[in-house]
Amino acid sequence: MKTVGFIGTGVMGKSMARHLMEAGHPVHVYTRTKAKALDLIEDGAVWQDDAARLTQQSDVVITMVGYPQDVEGVYLGENGIIANANTGTFLIDMTTSDPLLAEKIYQAAAAKGLHSLDAPVSGGDVGAINAKLAIMVGGTPSDFEAMLPIFELMGENIVLQGPPGAGQHTKMANQVAIASNMIGVTEAIMYAKKAGLDPVRVLKSISTGAAGSWSLSNLAPRMIKNDTDPGFYIKHFIKDMKIALTNAKKMNLITPGLALSLELYEELAEKGLEDRGTQALIAWYNGE
């Protein structure tokens, strides 16, 4: 069993690392806030004090951190992953990040005899807990095949999308779709309420019809209950939408739905809701 180093044990990363442990992989963990990894450590994960020490002990290094600058720092910094990895190590960034950065990391890794894949995920905390994440991969076919058994422990819909950076571009397409969808889901709930309907009963009818979506089935019930606990943080969704918008502009693509969604979520962040789940969009419609 390959030794896996896992960096970033937050809302999703913790469950992903646990699945690897349950399958029998020795897992080393590092995260900026050690408290977030304590239960994994209690269950047998090995704590490392920094990314360098973790990398030196690992056959595979998986990262699930917050922002592109975090990805760049942990991979390309002087004490980062690439500088400390043993030849032949597999590096898998599962953070949603910039496609160009994924290409840059691949090139730097290849120059040192390392294997790099960008593999962002979709499915939120529920998908991570149940090992049902969609995993979108960019990299070479041989590296993808070598790491497929690892991916299969964390997700179900696992697709090699193309060369380095393709996984991140696919995730951007995913986030573009979600951005407008979240507006539609929220407005549907608000419409039902204003019409005097029971939104829970309305969901029973519309979630399996043409309007059905993951967000409608999984996030709309949380909206109705005013449950804003994060399965996916607003601050991270804002980050993703900005990356997608930047890349869309480079491709001369106009995305008004994406732009509107970003505007609404930025207003929520300004009101102090950046650490709530994306379903907290309903707070904007409620005037909170």
Catalytic-residue membership of 171: yes
Give bridge partners of residue 162 from the DSSP assignment: 138
What's the distance, CA 12 to chain centroid?
A: 8
Between CA 119 and CA 135 the distance in angstroms is 6
Burial of 6 (0-12, 13-18, 19+ CB in 10 A): buried
121-122 and 133-138 strand pairing: antiparallel
CA distances for 109 relative to 55, 102, 191, 225, angstroms: 13, 10, 51, 46
Environment class of residue 84 by beta-carbon count within 10 Å: exposed (0-12), middle (13-18) or buried (19+)?
Answer: buried
Q: What are phi and psi of 131, to 5 degrees?
A: 55, 40
From 240, 247, 203, select the one nearest 224 (Cα to Cα). 203
Among candidate residues 171, 193, 235, 271, the one labeled active-site is: 171
Q: Which structure tokens are listed for 149?
A: 């058994």
Q: Which residues are catalytic?
A: 171
